[in-house]
């Protein structure tokens, strides 16, 4: 089992950051694993966890649909057993326009999965960091938590197997693939799922609707709508 100090040296060796990477790694933080099954259903398959990184300001039904489309994708194909999915909201250091505070975005994601899903979780590690983290570093974090701290997953025969981590890419993330210097070849462990039903609900449009006093009902889960209202998020500055 790898210690946080060993993980830090591993990440540095890959060229991803400095001591800030683990600045809040164990400070008031615990990795969510409550929906990870104890054993696999099919020993012939590779256990898989998918991760979606993004702003989620706010999370919408389209973000949730991405995971359902991914599950359909793997249900129709042999090879992988999808055991869980994670949302990983970016930190405030991302400095994107319209970005609510990380604590709000994590809470909205948590409300969304708690009210709609029995296999999706929210990991706040990335959102807690004082510096923006490259996606490869975030995926290394998931590998560390699931396979080194968590010990992987047992098969029906009792064997312990390593969980494969795969990135689920939305449109904004895909658009960044062509930007020079943003991605390296080792970062590109990406899952891209074809969208069969068109859905263009975006966080940007949600923020615009809230700013204009328009209804956002049926565009995102009701608990998230209530949270936005209660905390007066995305309203025009007075």
Each residue's pLDDT tens digit, 171-187: 555 555 554 555 555 55
Percent of the chain topping pLDDT 70: 78
What mean pLDDT do residues 111-120 have? 98
Q: Are the beta carbons of 38 and 59 closer than 8 angstroms?
A: no
The predicted pLDDT at position 14 comes to 38
What's the pTM?
0.83
Sheet with 80-89, strands from edge to edge, namely 120-122, 80-89, 46-54, 164-168, 190-191
Across the strands, what pairs with 49? 84, 165
Going along 28-79, which residue ranges are E strands?
46-54
Query: In angstroms, rounded to a whole number, what is the distance separating the alpha carbons of residues 205 and 222?
Result: 17
What mean pLDDT do residues 152-173 have? 87
Each residue's pLDDT tens digit, 127-145: 999 998 988 899 999 999 9
- Residue 190 clears pLDDT 50, i.e. is over it: yes
- Residue 165 clears pLDDT 60, i.e. is over it: yes
The predicted pLDDT at position 192 comes to 64
- Does domain 4-198 match CATH 3.30.420.40? no
The residue among 44, 136, 57, 117 whose CA lies nearest residue 90 is: 57
Each residue's pLDDT tens digit, 46-69: 999 999 999 999 999 999 999 999
Q: Are the beta carbons of 132 and 102 closer than 8 angstroms?
A: no
Tell me how far apart the terminal alpha carbons of the chain are, to the nearest angstrom. Answer: 52
- Residue 116 clears pLDDT 80, i.e. is over it: yes
> Would you call 176 exposed, middle or buried from its count of C-beta atoms within 10 A (0-12, 13-18, 19+)?
exposed
Query: In angstroms, rounded to a whole number, what is the distance separating the alpha carbons of residues 78 and 45?
Result: 7
């Amino acid at each position: 089992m790898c210690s946080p100090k060993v993980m830090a040296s591993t990440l540095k060796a890959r060229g991803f950051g400095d001591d800030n990477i683990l600045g809040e790694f164990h400070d008031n933080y615990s990795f969510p694993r409550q929906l990870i099954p104890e054993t696999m259903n099919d020993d012939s398959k590779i256990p898989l966890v998918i991760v979606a990184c993004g702003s989620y300001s706010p999370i919408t039904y389209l973000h949730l649909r991405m995971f359902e489309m991914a599950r359909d994708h793997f249900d129709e194909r042999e090879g992988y057993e999808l055991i869980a999915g994670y949302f990983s909201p970016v930190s405030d250091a991302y400095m994107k326009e319209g970005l609510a505070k990380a604590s709000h975005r994590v809470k909205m994601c948590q409300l969304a999965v708690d009210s709609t899903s029995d296999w999706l979780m929210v990991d706040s590690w990335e959102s807690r960091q004082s510096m923006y983290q490259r996606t490869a570093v975030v995926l290394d974090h998931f590998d560390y938590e699931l396979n080194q701290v968590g010990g992987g997953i047992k098969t029906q025969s009792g064997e312990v197997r390593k969980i494969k981590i795969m990135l689920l890419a939305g449109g904004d993330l895909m658009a960044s693939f062509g930007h020079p210097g943003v991605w390296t070849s080792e970062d590109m462990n990406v899952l891209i799922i074809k969208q069969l039903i068109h859905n263009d609900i975006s966080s940007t449009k949600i923020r615009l609707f809230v700013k204009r006093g328009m209804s956002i009902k049926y565009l995102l889960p009701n608990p998230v709508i209530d949270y936005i209202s209660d905390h007066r998020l995305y309203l025009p500055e007075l």
